[in-house]
A = this chain, B = another copy of it.
Amino acid sequence: MTLADSVNSPPEEHLRQHLTEIIELLDKQKLEEAIVNQQEMPHHDLVETLMLKRHQVALKQKLDGLHSADIAYILESLPVDQRLALWNLVESDLDGQILLDVSDAVRETLISSMDKSELLSATEQLDTDEIADLAPDLPEDVMQELLQNLNDQSRQRLQSVLAFEEDSVASLMDFGMVTIRADTTLGVVLRYLRQRGELPEHTDKLFVVDENNVLKGVLSLKRLVTNNAEQSVASVMAHDVVYFRLDDDAEEAARAFERYDLLSAPVVDELHQLQGRLGIDAIVDLIRRKSDEERLAEAGLREDEDIFSSVWKSAQNRWVWLGINLVTAFASTRVIGLFEDTIIKIVALASLMPIVAGIGGNTGNQTSILIVRSLALGLISASNIRRLIIKEIAIGLLNGIVWGSVLGLLAYWLYSSIDLGMVMAGATLLNLLVAALTGLMIPLIRHRMGLDPAIGTSVLLTAMTDGMGFFIFLGLAKLFLDTPH
C-alpha cells in the first residue's frame, strides 16, 4: 500500500476491490450495448451512446489511478472478451509496460488484438532489453520495422541479445548501466551524476571501466555517499567483484545472486569488456518462472495456461502428457495380463496389487524429489554420490521391512491366509527397493546426460514402480500360492 492511499487495507485486498468494480462497470456497459442493439430505434441512439460513454469514462478514470503492474494483474483476471474491452481503454503509453508485466499466455491474447501500428507505438517506449523479452511474441513484420527504427547501438544490442540462448545471462541482462573511470574523484562523479539527472532503474552501483570498456571494478552508491568527495574512484571502488559472462547459465547466476546477496552485477564478454548489467529484478522473475515451469511440467502441462483461454487450447496443452501416461500405464498393466490365470484362482490379488504398486510410486517419488532438489542446489558431486546411494538403499530396505510387515499383516487379516500375507510382505519389500533405486537413478542419469532431471522423472518412475510392482507381486503369488492341482 502506498502512503498516497488513504484506505487502510492490505495491498492485495485493495487490488481485488479494483477488479470487482471494473468487472461491474464492464458488465453494465455490455448490458447497455445489448439494449442498444436490440432496440434499433434511431431517436434513442444519442441517449444510449451517452450512457455507454459514461461507463467508459468511469472505467478510464479507474485505470488512470493504477500502476501498470496492477492493470496487468486485472487483465489476467478477466475473461478474454472483458479483457480485450478493457485493454482498448488503457492509455497507450502504458501498453508496452503492461505487455511486459502480463504472463506469456495472456500476452498472446493482447498482442493478437493489436494491429501493427499499435504494436510499434507500444514497443517504441521500451528499453532494448525489454523489447528482447517481447520479441518471441511479436509478429515478424513488426520486429523488422522495430529493428529499422532503432538507432545503431540499440539495434546491435538487441540483435546480440537475441542471438543468445533463452537461459543465458545475456538474455536476462539489461543495459541500464552507468560507467565511470577509475582516475576521477568521487566529487567529479557526483557532479557528473547531478548533470545526468535520472539514473536507470535499480541502479545500486556504477561500473568502473578503462578506455577500452574493460571492467575494472564497481563503485556502489553506498560507498559514493559515505566517502569524501576528494577521494579517487580507484581508492574507494571494490575490485573483488562478482561478475558474469554473456553465455553463463542464468540459473547458476541466480544461485550466485542468492549466495552472495547481490542486487546487480556486471556482465562482460570474453575480452572482459562490459556488455550489460544483471539486476535482481530479472533474477526474481527467473526464480519464479523456473519454479512455476517445473511444477507445471511435473503435472504434465506443457506451458502456463491463461485461465480463460479456450477449452480447445487448454486441452491441447494437457494432451501430450496424458498420451504419454496412457502409453506407460498401458505397458505396465500388460504385466497383469500375463497372470490372469493366477488372478482367477486368487481374486484377492486384484484388490491388493494396486497397493503394492502405489506405495512403490510414493516412496520412489520422495527419493527422486530429494535427488532433483540436491542436484539443482549443486550438492551432489562425484565425491559424495556413493554415500548417498547407500543411504537411499538403506532407507528403501528399512521402509520395505516396516511397510512390508504392515501390508503383510493387513493381507493376512483380510483374507486369513498366511501365505498371501507373506507374498504381500515380500512383494512390498522388493518393490520399495526397486522404487528407491529408480527414484535415485532416473534423475542422476538424466542429469549425467545433460537433461533436466525434474522433467519426465515422475512418468518414468511411476511406469517402473507400477510395472515392477505388478510383476513382483503377481509373480510371487504365482510361484508360492498358485499350486497346481
Point out residues on A near B: beta carbons under 8 Å.
1-4, 10-12, 15-16, 19-20, 23, 67, 69-70, 73, 76-79, 101, 190, 193-194, 196-199, 201-204, 215-217, 221-222, 224-228, 239-245, 248-249, 252, 255-261, 263, 280-281, 283-285, 287-288, 291-292, 294-296, 299-301, 305, 307-308, 311-312, 314-315, 318-319, 321-322, 325-326, 329-330, 332-334, 336-337, 340, 343-344, 347-348, 350-355, 357-359, 362-363, 365-366, 369-370, 373-374, 377-384, 387-388, 391, 394-395, 398-399, 402-403, 406-407, 410, 466
CB distance from A337 to the nearest CB of B (A): 5
Q: In the complex, are the beta carbons of B363 and A318 less than 8 A apart?
A: yes
| B321 lies within 8 A of A366 (CB) | yes
In the complex, the answer to whether B330 meets A410 with C-beta atoms within 8 Å is yes
Query: Which chain B residues border A194 with CB–CB below 8 Å?
Result: 225-228
Q: Is the interface of A mostly helix, strand, loop or mixed?
A: helix
Inter-chain CA distance A79–B386, complex, in Å, is: 11
CA distance A387 to B314 in the complex (A): 14
A334: B residues at CB distance < 8 A:
351
Choose from B4, B226, B373 the contact partner of A197 (Cβ within 8 Å): B226
Decide: A343 and B354 in contact? CB cutoff 8 A: no
Q: Say whether A369 contacts B291, CB under 8 Å.
A: no
Given contacts A259-B73, A354-B466, contact A198 B224 (CB under 8 A): no
- Are A370 and B222 in contact, CB atoms less than 8 angstroms apart? no
Check if B301 sits within 8 Å of A370, measured CB to CB: yes
**A244 shortest CB reach to chain B, Å:** 8
**Contact of A19 with B381 in the complex, beta carbons under 8 Å:** yes
Chain B residues, CB < 8 A from A19: 381, 383
| A67, A204, A380: residue with the most chain B Cβ atoms closer than 10 Å | A204
B391/A259 in contact, CB under 8 A: no
A330-B318 in contact (CB<8A): no
A153 to B204, CA, bound (A): 30
18 A-B pairs with CB atoms under 8 Å apart are A3-B216, A3-B243, A4-B240, A10-B252, A16-B378, A20-B382, A77-B379, A193-B225, A221-B221, A258-B285, A280-B280, A300-B366, A319-B402, A322-B362, A322-B403, A333-B351, A333-B355, A344-B344
Report chain B residues within 8 Å CB of A263. Answer: 202, 204, 263, 280
Q: Determine the distance from Cα of A15 to Cα of B381 in the docked complex, in whole angstroms.
A: 11
- Complex Cα distance, B471 from A351, in Å, reads 12
* Complex contact B243–A1 (CB within 8 A): yes
Cβ distance A322 to chain B, nearest Cβ, rounded Å = 6
CB atoms of A370 and B226 under 8 A apart:
no
Contact of A240 among B3, B301, B353 (CB under 8 A): B3
Which single member of B199, B308, B325 contacts A226 (CB below 8 Å)? B199
Bound form: Cα–Cα A295–B366 in Å: 10
Chain B positions within 8 Å of A377 at CB level: 76
* Complex Cα–Cα for A291 and B383 (A): 28
Which chain B residue lies CB-closest to A281?
Answer: B261
Contacts of A249 in B (CB 8 A): 10
User: Closest Cβ of chain B: how far from A348's Cβ, in Å?
Assistant: 8
Q: Cβ of B336 and Cβ of A350 under 8 Å apart?
A: yes
In whole angstroms, what is the CA distance A260 to B73 when docked?
12
CA A204 to CA B220, docked complex, whole Å: 10
Separation of A20 and B226 alpha carbons in the complex (Å): 41
Structural contact, A378 and B12, CB atoms closer than 8 A: yes
Given A196-B226, A199-B226, A399-B315, are A354 and B325 neighbors across the interface (CB < 8 Å)?
no
Whether B261 pairs with A311 at a CB distance below 8 angstroms is no
Please name the residue on chain B nearest to A337 by beta carbon. B351
The residues of B that contact A355 with a CB separation of less than 8 Å are: 326, 329-330, 333
- Bound form: Cα–Cα A300–B365 in Å: 9
Nearest-Cβ distance from residue A400 to partner chain B, whole angstroms: 11
Contacts of A382 in B (CB 8 A): 20
Q: Judging by beta carbons under 8 Å apart, are B284 and A373 in contact?
A: no
CA A406 – CA B466 in complex, angstroms? 21
Contact of A73 among B79, B308, B378, B387 (CB under 8 A): B378
Question: Considering only CB atoms, which chain B residue lies closest to A304 in the complex?
Answer: B373
Residue numbers in B under 8 Å from A348 (CB-CB): 337, 340
Contact of A10 among B248, B308, B370 (CB under 8 A): B248
Complex contact B373–A354 (CB within 8 A): no
